[in-house]
Structure 1
């Protein structure tokens, strides 16, 4: 749903402008979740190396959880009168990030790249939460219901493979998936 598409209705007592902004924020999160679950499956299929089975099996529960987050977000959009968009074309048209570029690669390379991906997802969630916490009349507050503890848990699972015993990452400071994969 774009800002210029009217809502079909809005929740009672919620200003339509506020509802439209929330729908837009939720749609951006829905796009991120749809992209992430496809990226995670791509990693699941393309990971190789001595820790293959551990990473391969670690990824599927994350895929399932992220798909659940996407469903929750789409339903929130619908309850606000919006029309959730989940087609691949609409996702690619709206997304503001590059496509995941790592193909067949070692567990460390994929996990390093996923560290950057999770940093981006978590940061964008935090930014959306900050915006929706601003006190306004008729504003519902927390609109991002995906379990933020799960995002941190998934990120920790990934980073645990990349840290040394002192908590240092070889990929510290990397801001792209390719750079992180190369440093892994």
Structure 2
């Protein structure tokens, strides 16, 4: 750890949390720029709604990066947030540069955002294991926003070949999820 911190956690726990926060920082920086890649290069139907959605998602993820960096600093750590460090330490795959069609960009972003959400969910559990409710709460708040963004992104695929659910009526979906009646 680079800086003093009087946060009441064992040094080893703070070191592990800082590492986790820096991984999330790198991943969020990478995700921000992947979403901007889609924002700049989307073409096709629904252009403006998707263009604006991508900007909103990118803004959210940029704020997440700032929160991860600040929490790492509060724990006595050093935020590793340069572009080169983000590229090296991100948990995401490289963006598919052949994507141009709106559905292609959406599918890629759904994949990346769902991976980001999984990392956050794992982080929540690790923070609980390390008895750090503050960092756990940060991850929980971020995950809530990420899952809403994921829902918005996935909603753009409903009815397309990508979901395989274009012919299912809402009543069939409800029946699928309803518990069986008692015998």
TM-score band, normalised by shorter chain:
0.7 to 0.9
Contact in 2 for aligned 1:48/1:104 (Cα 8 Å): no
Partner residue in 2 for 1:143 = 135
Return 110-119 or 95-104, whichever deviates more: 95-104
Contact 1:7 1:81 survives alignment (8 Å): yes
Q: Is the 8 A contact 1:10 1:19 kept in 2?
A: no
Separation in 2, partners of 1:101, 1:43: 10
Aligned residues: 161
In the alignment, which residue of structure 2 is the partner of 1:95? 90
Q: Distance in 1 between matches of 2:27 and 2:144?
A: 17
Q: 1:5-84 maps to which residues of 2 (within 5 A)?
A: 6-84=1-79
Aligned partner of 1:107 in structure 2 is 102
**Structure 2 CA distance for aligned equivalents of residues 148 and 57 of structure 1:** 21
What CA distance in whole angstroms lies between the structure 1 residues aligned with 2:33 and 2:19? Answer: 21
Higher-Rg structure is 2
Instruction: Give 5+ residue unaligned stretches, structure 2.
Output: 166-183
In structure 2, what is the Cα distance between the partners aligned to 1:117 and 1:12?
33
TM-score, normalised with respect to structure 2: 0.80
| 1:169 has 2:153 as partner | no
CA apart distance, 1:119: 1.2
Cα displacement string for residues 111-130 of structure 1 (whole angstroms, at most 9, x for unaligned residues)? 01111111100111111111
Question: 1:50 Cα deviation (Å)?
Answer: 1.3
Give the root-mean-square deviation of aligned CA atoms.
2.0
The separation in 2 between residues aligned to 1:102 and 1:27, in whole angstroms, is 26
